[in-house]
């Protein structure tokens, strides 16, 4: 019944209701009324308060005994889910701070031509440091996998390594494409080139490059 109650921001559609009903089905069971019942099997912090406590004592027990922040194990998730969430939040905060900074930070007093020259100089430095593309077709793994019948087969790591090389070459190609066009002046200012321009000035990774990078 708890999972069927709809209220804005929390339970607003069928999927929310199904999720809450599933969680409540795990928590709200007959053994909930047993003394010192552990409500979360994977976490010993969530123990039901003693029955003899009154309302104020129960509230105080919850404040002192339960964690201030709900742990992932309470929702049946792995502990690494908390790390992923914190990383995502940290990345968002850093991104917001960078967006609040002036786009010409460190370039105060420079004219447009001087800013362009600064960007071109950094682009040339990037081009000079770019490694050559990997030759994925020439990659081999110097050992085979032995099968149960004694025969051998080529290592599957070779295929994985070739795929990684292809992804790496794709990233290098994307970087080379935009840096070369910008330096040579062979393309008009597009949204993607503007991202590269602003990214160099603000020392951030442009989305057009990030989309081709590793996830």
Residue 84 lies in a domain: no
Residues 136 and 206 in one domain: yes
What is the domain range of residue 145?
107-210
pLDDT in the model for residue 107: 55
Residues 130 and 39 in one domain: no
Residue 120 lies in a domain: yes
- The residue length of the chain stands at 215
The 10s digit of each residue's pLDDT in 34-72 is 777 777 767 777 788 888 889 999 899 888 888 777 777
What is the rounded distance in angstroms from the CA atom of residue 153 to the CA atom of residue 159?
13
What is the rounded distance in angstroms from the CA atom of residue 42 to the CA atom of residue 74?
8
Residues 126 and 204 in one domain: yes
Residues 58 and 113 in one domain: no
Question: Concatenated DSSP letters for 7-22?
Answer: BTTTB-SHHHHHHHHH
N-term to C-term CA, the chain:
41
pTM: 0.45
Who has greater pLDDT, 20 or 155? 20
Mean pLDDT of the chain: 76
What is the rounded distance in angstroms from the CA atom of residue 178 to the CA atom of residue 194?
10
Residues 57 and 112 in one domain: no
Residue 82 lies in a domain: no
Residue 80 lies in a domain: no
Residues 52 and 147 in one domain: no
Residues 129 and 68 in one domain: no
Q: What sign for the dihedral angle of Cα 185, 189, 191, 196?
A: positive
Residues 112 and 204 in one domain: yes
Residues 6 and 67 in one domain: yes
Closest residue by Cα to residue 165 from 137, 193, 187: 137
What is the rounded distance in angstroms from the CA atom of residue 50 to the CA atom of residue 37?
9
Count of structural domains within the chain: 2
Please report how the helices 191-202 and 112-129 are oriented relative to each other, as an axis angle in degrees rounded to 10: 90
Residues 122 and 199 in one domain: yes
Q: What is the mean pLDDT of residues 108-115?
A: 69
């Amino acid at each position: 019944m708890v999972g069927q109650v709809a209220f804005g921001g929390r339970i607003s559609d069928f999927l929310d209701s199904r999720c809450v009903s599933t969680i409540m089905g795990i928590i709200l069971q007959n053994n909930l009324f047993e003394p010192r019942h552990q409500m979360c099997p994977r976490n010993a912090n969530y123990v039901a308060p003693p029955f003899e406590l009154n309302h104020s004592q129960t509230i105080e027990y919850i404040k002192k005994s339960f964690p201030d922040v709900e742990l992932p194990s309470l929702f049946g998730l792995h502990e690494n889910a908390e790390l992923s969430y914190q990383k995502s939040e940290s990345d968002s905060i850093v991104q917001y701070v960078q967006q609040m900074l002036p786009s010409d930070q460190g370039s105060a007093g420079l004219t447009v031509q001087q800013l362009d020259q600064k960007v071109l100089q950094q682009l040339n430095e990037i081009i000079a440091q770019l490694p050559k593309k990997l030759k994925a077709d020439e990659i081999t793994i110097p050992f085979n996998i032995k099968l149960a019948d004694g025969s051998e087969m080529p290592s599957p790591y070779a295929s994985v390594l070739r795929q990684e090389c292809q992804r790496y070459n794709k990233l290098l190609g994307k970087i080379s494409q935009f840096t070369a066009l910008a330096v040579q002046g062979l393309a008009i200012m597009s949204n993607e080139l503007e991202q590269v321009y602003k990214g160099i000035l603000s020392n951030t990774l442009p989305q057009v490059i990030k989309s081709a990078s590793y996830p």
